[in-house]
Amino acid sequence: MGSPRQRLILAIILAVTVGAGAAHYAGAPSVLSFVVSGFALAGLAWVVSDATESVGRRFGPAVTGVLQSSLGNLPELFVVLFALRAGQVVVAETSILGSIFANALLVMGVVILAGVRHSFDGVMRFQRRLPQDTGTLLLLAVFIIVLLGLSVGSADPASGHRQAISNIGAVLLIAVYIIWLLGYLRSDAATESGAEEGSGFTFPVAIGLLAVGGVAAAFVSDWFVSALTPTLNTLHLSEAFAGIVIVAIAGNAVENVTGIVLANKGQSDLAVSVVKNSVSQIALFLYPALVLLSLLFATHLTFVLQPVYIGALGITALALWQITGDGEAYAFEGWGLIALYVIVAVFAYFE
């Protein structure tokens, strides 16, 4: 069950999480609800991060990364579904995009900085395989999105069938993602994950904490987001900014903290795996699945996006491939990714 210190921290996090729920259901002022659920999110992120590391000693980085990013992407799924049900298509779209940008640019950038700081020679090193795979997968999603954007932009006959094209594209993306995922998980069996230090939880406890932490993070994210909307109105911020920045950062707190903590401990491959899997899962599985699920609602989601976000997505895919595809990252590359995220946020602020 871990050390006494770990048990104390878990108790505090449990208390804060319960407090966030109470603030939400009791109708407390949104600012209070916002702050408490924010702390709860960060605490749950620590739980998931710590438990993931214990599990990672049993499996390789592949299984752990997929597990982790799946748990970490649950909040986004719920946020977008709630937004679509309420007919808020701009919030839904920008939340998905924002999750991609936050993971691929902001979190990846901070992970690189943490990894570089931990390295002995200013270079973070990791396996090239996963970044290359993520690059391939992202290019597939970018292909559909760019082609639809050009079709709609030039108002050609195909642009009248944007929903049908989006549906076919969604099925294709999910199919390729599942084929990739099966191969990726199978490859992990071969790698030997050197279980070095034995500081953490036992395997069953870790699995239990991962499950509980992931589900709780989903709930808390929801409370956090519903407390954000009134705050947004008070601060006169646009829906685009809320989706690209606030929901994106809040909804990805788990990947954020997990990735950075792992990189700080020198576990480069696991850190990269968490972030990369999150990005490709959102772009190749979550987004397409939401396109198909939205057919059940009155408001439909397609792959048609605003030109600025299409361009940002395309160059993000290229920059991520360029920077991480060679299995080495330098500090300036981490800062560069963060700068790209700031630029996207600036555009969203002015939209």
Binding mask 330-349 for a copy of itself (x = CB under 8 A): xxxx-xx--xx-xxx-xx--
Choose, by CB under 8 A, the member of 42, 89, 211, 318 that binds a copy of itself: 318
**How far is the C-alpha of 324 from the C-alpha of 132, rounded, in Å?**
8
Exactly one of 5, 26, 120, 122 binds a copy of itself (CB under 8 A); that residue is 122
Shortest Å, Cβ 142 to a copy of itself: 7
The correct pick among 8, 12, 179, 235 for binding a copy of itself (CB under 8 A) is 179
Q: Is 154 in the site for a copy of itself (CB under 8 A)?
A: yes
Tell me whether residue 121 or residue 196 sits nearer to a copy of itself (CB atom). Answer: 121
- Closer CB to a copy of itself, 195 or 295, in the complex: 295
Cβ-based nearer residue to a copy of itself, 48 or 240:
240
Alpha carbon 45 to its chain's center:
12
Report the distance separating Cα 38 and Cα 266, nearest Å: 27
End-to-end CA distance of the chain: 49
- The one segment of 48-56, 73-81, 90-98, 131-139 that binds a copy of itself by CB under 8 A: 131-139
For 324, residues 6+ apart whose C-beta sits below 8 A from its C-beta are 108, 126, 131, 134, 272, 276
Q: With contact defined as beta carbons under 8 Å apart, do 265 and 246 qualify?
A: no
Q: How far apart are CA 126 and CA 116, in angstroms?
A: 11
Rounded Cα distance between 181 and 279, Å, is 13
Give the Cα separation of 326 and 272 in Å (integer): 13
Per-residue mark of binding to a copy of itself, 209-238 (x: CB under 8 A): ------------------------------
Binding piece for a copy of itself, criterion CB under 8 A, among 66-74, 220-228, 265-273, 305-313: 305-313
CB of 148 vs a copy of itself, minimal distance in Å: 9
Phi, psi of 126 (to 5 degrees): -155, 170
Bridge partner residues of 328 (DSSP): 125
Among 14, 139, 237, 292, binds a copy of itself (CB under 8 A): 139
244 lies in the binding site for a copy of itself (CB under 8 A)? no
HEC readout, 144-157:
HHHHHHHHHHCCCH
Question: Contact, 334 vs 110, CB < 8 A?
Answer: yes
239 counts as binding a copy of itself under rule CB under 8 A: no
- Applying CB under 8 A, which of residues 135, 200, 251, 259 lies at the interface with a copy of itself? 135
- CA-nearest of 37, 109, 35 to 75 is 37
Shortest gap between Cβ of 130 and a copy of itself (angstroms)? 12
Binding residue (CB under 8 A) for a copy of itself from 117, 153, 203, 299: 153
Does residue 192 bind a copy of itself (CB under 8 A)? no
37: enclosing H helix or E strand: helix 30-56
Q: What backbone torsions phi and psi does residue 124 show, to the nearest 5 degrees?
A: -85, 125
- Return the half-sphere exposure (C-beta side, CA atoms, 13 A cut-off) of residue 30: 13
User: With respect to a copy of itself, which residue has the nearer C-beta, 153 or 208?
Assistant: 153
Q: What are phi and psi of 130, to 5 degrees?
A: -65, -45
Q: Does 150 bind a copy of itself (CB under 8 A)?
A: yes
Q: Minimum Å distance from CB 217 to a copy of itself?
A: 29
The secondary structure of the chain in percent helix, strand, coil, rounded to multiples of 5, reads 80, 0, 15
Q: Point out which residues bind a copy of itself (CB under 8 A).
A: 122, 132-133, 135-137, 139-140, 142-144, 146-147, 149-151, 153-154, 156-158, 160-161, 164-165, 168-169, 172-173, 175-176, 179-180, 183, 306-308, 310-312, 315, 318-319, 321-323, 326, 330-333, 335-336, 339-340, 342-344, 346-347, 350-351
